[in-house]
Amino acid sequence: MTTEAETSRQSISGDCASAFLLLSRIPVTWHRFRDDQPPDFISSLWAFPLVGLVLGAVGGGVLAAGQALALPPFAIAICGLAAMIFLSGAMHEDGLADMADGFGGGRDTEAKIRIMHDSRIGTYGVLGLILTVAIRIGFYMTCIGIFSGWQLVLFMAVLQAACRLQPVVQLSAFRVSPHASLAQLTGRPGATRLGAAAIICLLPMIWLLGPVVSASMVIPALALAIWTGQLATRHVEGLTGDVMGATVVLAEIIMLMCWASVSGMIPA
């Protein structure tokens, strides 16, 4: 596996562009890669939360706009989620469905990998998508009832940034599966890049929500990321792109769940 020290140096602009190329469909017009120097995704790992900040801000903007137009909360939540899924290319949802199908239906490592690489979706994948989409819509409706305007935009931004910290944590703790395809583009981030990624998402989250609520959201998400990494190591010999994508979705759900629980117990 390639380590941080073995990667070629890439500018900050190049790191950001690489992260957006990998994790979103947002056009990258501010940076041009040379033909002899393709995007270095390992170098860009620290910028993964930046992609989450942008996607979350767009989703929060859609929610806030729906609020201003007095649309039904259910419709607002669907539109906000749809906007973020569109901008991300649904890659995390695709990973969740593939992981559910592979881990749920495969008897051994070879079968699990074969199912996860199959473009068709099975029962486990369909159920996983339905349940996770429904849960997120429900929590977004709760967010709409508590936040408004710029606070709603900021909350969604820091939430999505923290979700995309989890794959960086996983890559720092677990090896990439030899059967992986997309995950082979990445590697261990190193302490510097892991720390930068954590600062990007944690500082604005603490500023907005306070240290207690922030810790109650992030710590369970980190525990989930570690558990998912251990599960992937046991089932498919390491991390894959599908596993990390699924972790992003599941981390969002557990953070929303913890936020809803803890924030209700803290006096305003």
What is the rounded average pLDDT for all residues in the chain?
A: 90
173-217 tens-digit pLDDT? 999 988 877 655 677 888 999 999 999 999 999 999 999 999 999
Cβ 95 vs Cβ 243: under 8 Å: yes
> In angstroms, rounded to a whole number, what is the distance separating the alpha carbons of residues 167 and 45?
9
Give the C-alpha separation, 191 to 174, whole Å: 14
Q: What is the largest CA-CA distance in the chain?
A: 57
The mean pLDDT of 40-46, rounded to a whole number, is 89
* Tens digit of each residue's pLDDT (9 = 90 or more) over 76-131: 999 999 999 999 999 999 999 999 999 988 888 889 999 998 888 999 999 999 99
Q: Is the pLDDT of residue 155 over 80?
A: yes
Nearest of 203, 132, 128 to residue 162 by alpha carbon: 203
Residue 239: strand pairing partners: 176
Q: Is the pTM of this model over 0.85?
A: yes
Predicted confidence (pLDDT) per residue in 4-33, tens digit: 444 457 888 888 999 999 999 998 887 777
Output the pLDDT for position 6.
Answer: 43
d(CA 18, CA 191): 19
Mean pLDDT of 64-80: 96
pLDDT at position 73 is 95
pLDDT beyond 90 at 245: yes
pLDDT of residue 8: 54
Rounded to the nearest 10°, the torsion over CA 262, 263, 265, 268 is 160
Specify which residues 176 forms β-bridges with. 239
Q: Comparing 238 with 10, which gets the higher pLDDT?
A: 238
Q: What's the chain's Rg over C-alpha atoms?
A: 18
Across residues 225-237, what is the average pLDDT? 94
- Helix, strand and coil percent figures for the chain, each rounded to 5: 75, 0, 25
pLDDT above 90 for 144: yes
Going by C-alpha positions, the residue among 176, 182, 266, 256 that lies closest to residue 218 is 256
Rounded alpha-carbon distances, angstroms, from residue 176 to 2, 122, 185, 227: 10, 25, 10, 15
Distance CA 106, CA 224 (A): 22
* CA 213 – CA 72 distance, rounded (Å): 28
**Distances in Å between the alpha carbon of 54 and those of 68, 70, 164?**
21, 24, 12
Percent of the chain whose pLDDT exceeds 70: 93
Q: Show the CA angle centred on residue 138, arms to residues 89 and 163, nearest 5°.
A: 45
